[in-house]
Amino acid sequence: MIIDAHVHLGHDRVFDEEQSEKEILNVMNANVVDAAVIQPMVDTPSIDAAQENHNRIAEMSRQNPKRIFGMISINPHLKEKEFEEEASRCVQKLGFVGIKLTPIAHACNPLSKDGIRVFERANGLGIPVMVHTGSGIPFALPSLVMPVAKRFPQLRIVLAHAGGNISAGEALIVAQECENIFLEPSWVAIHTIQKWIKPIGAKRIMFGSDMLENCPVELAKFRNMGLSEEELQQCLYKTAKDFFNLPIDD
């Protein structure tokens, strides 16, 4: 089984990228990906745009049950009531399984008042948080997530891109310091990921593609780093399944 923990839908106004429902499903089918956690691209910072994008993902999930799962992405600088109500709607009515903070695109320090709001809301709703790390420093430094992880020790947090190649070492240190921090190492060099298995274990590392063209690349990395079959299965699906509490049978 393969679960892609990091897929985007829609148009991204920050990086000028776009991915459609059809393209996502085509890439999943071509690479034998069983399920994916879909989040919106970073759109206009408005509650209307957030709701529209979340509705698209919810409809995609409805048409592909137990295959497509939603992740919330709301600009944390929106009005507090709008943010909280939309996050609650996504979890309680649409069945979304996580929330994303993108410091580089949301222009948000994870330790700022608005940044902390994301973690507080996730903790209250009982869902994990994905945080973009790597490009966009200093706000995207993995170390900025560590104080929040220690403040909410029961909250599961995954570092998207695991700091990228430039901050991958820092991401590992953060994960070693906080057992509730996991790593999604899309775009990180294969030999770097390979060295993480021993210090933190495969149970805290998950496969994610980020962009569709990168899906076969990331899969090839995991399949060619000399993992045992158990470690490979853990990284390709078990970690994400447990992290997001996905209702999927092995």
Show the domains of the chain with their CATH numbers.
3-243 (3.20.20.140)
Q: What's the confidence (pLDDT) of residue 249?
A: 86
Q: What's the confidence (pLDDT) of residue 250?
A: 79
Instruction: Decide if 185 contacts 170 (C-beta within 8 A).
Output: no
Span 33-50, pLDDT tens digits: 999 999 999 988 999 999
Judged by phi (left if over 0) then psi (alpha if -120 to 50, else beta), residue 126 lies in left
Residue 226 has pLDDT above 90, yes or no: yes
Question: Of all residues in the chain, what percent are helix, strand and coil, respectively (each to 5)?
Answer: 50, 15, 35
- Edge-to-edge strand ranges of the sheet holding 17-19: 17-19, 3-12, 35-40, 68-73, 98-101, 129-132, 157-160, 181-184
3-state DSSP call for residue 165?
A: helix
Span 89-146, pLDDT tens digits: 999 999 999 999 999 999 999 999 999 999 999 999 999 999 999 999 999 999 999 9
Q: What's the confidence (pLDDT) of residue 89?
A: 98
Q: What's the confidence (pLDDT) of residue 206?
A: 98
- Mean pLDDT over residues 163-169, rounded? 97
Q: What's the confidence (pLDDT) of residue 99?
A: 98
